[in-house]
Amino acid sequence: MVSQKVGGWAFILGVVIAIIAGLAATFVAMYSGYVLLVLVILGLIVGFLNIKDKQVVNFLIAAITLMAVGTANLVSINLAIPLLGSLIMSIIQNIAAFVAPAALVVALKEVYNIAKE
């Protein structure tokens, strides 16, 4: 019960930090390494505590999609909408940095479960 609450709060906090850091990217640029570290730690917590066996496939598909969008070349958005495009790019990249460690943990747990059988 406690782990579900911690995992839930870690998810909410990770998304909020990713959005705020994306919106304030120019103001928190000197702290971007710390922000990424916090996002990675929260992603690991989410991966360990939140994703149950029946949610693995859906989570990994969503994570792959988010990371693909996060690593895509979004320069065209930035060129089309100069200020808003860079904010969107920064938010998406932060969310991808948050989701990647969770996806790694879930994928490794699933590989272990498959190998165990």
Q: What are the boundaries of each domain within the chain?
A: 2-116
Residue-averaged pLDDT of the chain? 85
- Predicted confidence (pLDDT) at residue 108 exceeds the cutoff of 90: yes
The reported pTM is 0.84
Q: What is the DSSP letter of 81?
A: S
Q: Report the pLDDT value the prediction gives residue 103, as an integer from 0 to 100.
A: 94
Q: What is the dihedral of CA 8, 10, 15, 17, to 10 degrees?
A: 150
Residue 106: its pLDDT value, please? 93
Better pLDDT: 3 or 66: 66
Taking 70 as the threshold, does the pLDDT of residue 17 lie above it? yes
Distance of alpha carbon 57 from alpha carbon 114, whole angstroms: 13
Residue with tokens 């460690």: 101
